[in-house]
Amino acid sequence: MKSFHKVRPELREWILATARAGHGVPEVLRLLKEAGYDAAQSRRAVSEVLDIPLTSLNAVAPRPSGRRPKHPEAPQVLVDDQPIRVTISVEAPALRVLDGLLSTEECEALIDAARPRLNRAMTVDNQGKQQVDAARTSRGMFFSLGETPLIATLEARLAKLLDMPVEFGEGLQVLHYLPGQEYEAHHDWFDPSQPGYSTITAKGGQRVASVVMYLNTPEEGGGTGFPAVGLTVTAQRGSAVYFAYETGEQASLHAGLPVTRGEKWIATKWLRERPFRP
């Protein structure tokens, strides 16, 4: 696979000449791919040469070829005879608020299992490694797939609800927020323009959906905000917010809003386009 850090003069001239000949951006990117260039770096080169915002080029990138989840539909979905109510439904992004996804007992058991293993919550860096990020101030931990009977039960429930095999999910993460702690606005998909994109996605492809499950009800604050939609999902024990996304889209921007009183416990499941290999 060819790559470049600075746009060479001959490549710059080729991009300009191809664009002037009437070829659109998708065609230019396709030709670069056929010539052996890395897709993410090709978008960066085209962005620089044609003076096009990189976010716009990410939006025209090919959609993932892997599996996609099935969005739960209102008013409710039955999973093993358990009714899960869809109380809010948004189409762009595909977003559903799910009531009754977990029982009170399951929420409490997850908290009890996670509490002794909490550490400063991390984010994923450009090489796919965990890093401390000032934007994320909570504490958290990960369960491996099927680690306990409870984890296996919840993973199977989500797999049936979203028509996505268990192995397409990352390990369940539990997070604990105290007053003032938050996770600033971010996207869950991996940015193809970043140098470590191929490393991160080698483990199972791009992320395609997220499920944020609320394990308790904070006394005040702690919801999940979607600024592009103008929606704040209230944290209520046993409920969850599911949302899906495409690479480069902006509508799924979201934030774990600050807890202003009490504490917040959540469990997050990220889904990939292909089976995930830790």
Residue 190 and residue 122 share a domain: yes
- Answer yes or no: is 238 within a domain: yes
Q: What pLDDT shows up at residue 56?
A: 61
Q: Tens of pLDDT along 15-41?
A: 888 878 767 677 788 788 777 777 777
Q: What pLDDT shows up at residue 25?
A: 74
- Answer yes or no: is 71 within a domain: no
Q: What pLDDT shows up at residue 43?
A: 83
Residue 97 and residue 53 share a domain: no
- Answer yes or no: is 267 within a domain: yes
Residue 209 and residue 136 share a domain: yes
Residue 127 and residue 27 share a domain: no
- Answer yes or no: is 39 within a domain: yes
CATH code of 229's domain: 2.60.120.620
Q: Tens of pLDDT along 165-220?
A: 999 999 999 999 999 999 999 999 998 877 788 889 988 999 999 999 999 999 99
Residue 83 and residue 19 share a domain: no
CB 35 within 8 Å of CB 2 = yes
- Answer yes or no: is 68 within a domain: no
Q: What pLDDT shows up at residue 33?
A: 78
Residue 193 and residue 133 share a domain: yes
Return mean pLDDT, the chain. 87
pLDDT at residue 121 greater than cutoff 70 = no
Residue 42 and residue 140 share a domain: no
Say what the pTM is.
0.75
Number of structural domains (the chain) is 2
Query: How many Cβ atoms from other residues are within 10 Å of residue 121's Cβ?
Result: 22
The range of the structural domain enclosing residue 268 comes to: 76-272
Residue 245 and residue 148 share a domain: yes
Q: From CA 86, how far away is CA 99, in angstroms rounded?
A: 6
Q: From CA 168, how far away is CA 270, in angstroms rounded?
A: 9
- Which is nearest to 188 in space by CA: 106, 264, 110, 95? 95
- Answer yes or no: is 70 within a domain: no
Residue 162 and residue 89 share a domain: yes
> Which residue bears the tokens 């608020």?
97
**Core vs surface per residue 70-105: b (16+ CB within 10 A) or e:** ebbeeebbebeeeebebeeeeeebbbbbbeebbeee
In the chain the first and final C-alpha atoms are separated, in Å, by 24
Residue 88 corresponds to which tokens in the numbers above?
């809010």
- Answer yes or no: is 212 within a domain: yes
Q: Decide: helix, strand or coil at residue 123.
A: strand
> Which residue bears the tokens 């990352």?
170
Residue 107 and residue 50 share a domain: no
- Answer yes or no: is 65 within a domain: no
Residue 93 and residue 25 share a domain: no
Helices then strands, counting H and E runs in the chain, come out as: 7, 17
Q: Decide: helix, strand or coil at residue 148.
A: coil
> Which residue bears the tokens 């992320």?
207
Residue 142 and residue 203 share a domain: yes
